[in-house]
């Protein structure tokens, strides 16, 4: 069985899959993801489940919530002797919109910045990057569909990463990191800001 966790936005989720089918899905909203996750895990018969793989989304997005889900994923993987895999949460949105030629997945980065990840026809074409928030209107001009879990501005479709989508990627090892100590995607520093998001998207 595979257990997946996704908590990079205000909509957290958990999914369990087996043999290519989804066995269980749970969602929880709000900022108290830790309490909701603990409650959800207590409701599930984890002790009796044969979990062989644990997948966790590492953002970019809500740093504190992602750290909670990573810690939970590590604990479950350790207790079950399961393999731990992590991936960019944006892959979920890429699966939700597989026919879009240029899909931009955006998230709040705080400090006047946003995160962006670019996909094309369900495949990653530019890994996550940070850019000044005021550049968003120009960035989305180069995008066929722009999505975000938060209200970031006009022209962006509200969409949320979902744990259940990760189950569909379980056989594609190329999208995962198998680092046993994954960290939330965190993109800060003058190099990325000086590079400029618009120049690299044009």
Task: Find the CATH number of the domain harbouring 54.
Answer: 3.30.420.40
Residues 77 and 9 in one domain: yes
Position 181 in a domain:
no
Residues 85 and 96 in one domain: no
Residues 72 and 166 in one domain: yes
Instruction: Tell which wins on pLDDT, 191 or 41.
Output: 41
pLDDT value at 132 more than 70: yes
Position 183 in a domain:
no
Residues 125 and 169 in one domain: no
For the segment 15-26, the average pLDDT, to the nearest whole number, is 93
Position 145 in a domain:
yes
This prediction has a pTM of 0.89
Residues 49 and 110 in one domain: no
Residues 83 and 9 in one domain: yes
Specify the pairing of strand 123-132 against strand 113-120. antiparallel
Position 182 in a domain:
no
Residues 140 and 84 in one domain: no
Residue 30 pLDDT? 61
Share of the chain above pLDDT 70, in %: 91
Residues 16 and 50 in one domain: yes
Residue 201 pLDDT? 44
3, 13 contact by CB (below 8 A) = no
Position 123 in a domain:
yes
- Reduce the DSSP state of residue 188 to 3 states and report it: coil
CA torsion through residues 20, 101, 94, 195, sign: positive
Residues 192 and 110 in one domain: yes
pLDDT value at 19 more than 60: yes
Position 180 in a domain:
no
Residues 29 and 122 in one domain: no
pLDDT value at 36 more than 90: no
Residues 52 and 101 in one domain: no
| Structural domain boundaries, residue 61 | 2-89+161-175
**Ramachandran region, residue 20 (left: φ > 0; alpha: ψ -120 to 50; beta: rest):** left
pLDDT in tens, 143-158: 999 999 999 988 899 9
Tell me how many domains the chain contains: 2
The kind and range of the H/E element at 164 are helix 163-167
């Amino acid at each position: 069985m595979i257990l997946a966790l996704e908590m990079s936005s205000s909509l957290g989720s958990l999914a369990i899959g087996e043999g290519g089918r989804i066995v269980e899905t749970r969602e929880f909203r709000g900022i108290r993801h830790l309490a909701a996750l603990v409650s959800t895990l207590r409701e599930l018969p984890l002790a009796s489940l044969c979990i062989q793989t644990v997948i966790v989304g590492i953002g970019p997005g809500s740093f504190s919530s992602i750290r909670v889900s990573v810690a939970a994923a590590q604990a479950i993987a350790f207790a079950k002797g399961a393999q731990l895999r992590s991936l960019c949460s944006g892959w979920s949105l890429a699966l939700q919109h597989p026919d879009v030629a240029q899909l931009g997945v955006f998230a709040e980065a705080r400090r006047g910045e946003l995160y962006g990840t670019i996909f094309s026809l369900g495949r990653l074409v530019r890994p996550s990057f940070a850019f000044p928030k005021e550049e968003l209107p120009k960035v989305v001009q180069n995008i066929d569909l722009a999505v975000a879990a938060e209200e970031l501005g006009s022209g962006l479709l509200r969409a949320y990463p979902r744990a259940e989508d990760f189950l569909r990627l379980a056989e594609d090892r190329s999208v995962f990191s198998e680092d046993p100590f994954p960290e939330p995607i965190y993109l800060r520093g003058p190099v990325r800001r000086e590079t400029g998001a618009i120049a690299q998207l044009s």
